[in-house]
Amino acid sequence: MSHQLAVFGGGCFWCTEAVFDVLRGVKSVMSGYAGGKNKNPTYEQVCMGNTGHAEVIRIEFDPAEVSFRDLLTVFFATHDPTTLNRQGNDVGTQYRSAIFYADEKQKEEAAAFIKKLDDAKTFKNSIVTTLEPLAEFYPAEGYHQKFYANNPAQPYCQYMIPPKLTKLHKQFKDLLKLQGQ
């Protein structure tokens, strides 16, 4: 069976990459940019907040091992989808909660998932996650790839990522890769 792609923006891509990198069925996770007007944007340009791009991760996954729905479940559980253009202290459209769908099936599944969460009042406030067509994905600079794995002592990472990973290990143990994978 062929692999599929999912592209999510959930704030800082260092954080989202660290979460999805440990899921079974995930073959690769790449930090990058999507949703804007500039071709080949740089981190500095995206950080200025005027390119329209969001910090995102591109997940290559095997749907026989982990479903798009599983990825959506983890996505919504590991960031705040109710704050517009903000995750914690990271503020701006580049930190928006977004799903960049690869096809109509992903769009429909994500829309139904959001509606179900909102109808169930899973969060105190309504979900503001945008559904945007994936026109282009631009890989982030090399030093952003596997950032947490390569820089676990970086203060921002120490503060932001361990709570997400702890939640992941408690709530989604069945979705984690086995040791050595």
pLDDT in tens, 114-168: 999 999 999 999 999 999 999 999 999 999 999 999 999 999 999 999 999 999 9
Indicate which residue of 12, 15, 47, 157 is catalytic: 12
Q: Could you tell me the strand order of the sheet in which 4-10 lies?
A: 130-133, 97-101, 4-10, 54-61, 26-34, 137-139
pLDDT in tens, 53-84: 999 999 999 999 999 999 999 999 999 999 99
CB 16 within 8 A of CB 161: no
Tell me the one-letter amino acid at 44: E
Give me the percent of the chain exceeding a pLDDT of 70.
Answer: 98
Q: What CATH number labels 4-175?
A: 3.30.1060.10
pLDDT of residue 2: 87
Domain ranges for the chain, please list them.
4-175
26-34/54-61 β-pairing = antiparallel
Query: Quick check: is 12 catalytic?
Result: yes
Q: What average pLDDT does the segment 30-40 reach?
A: 97
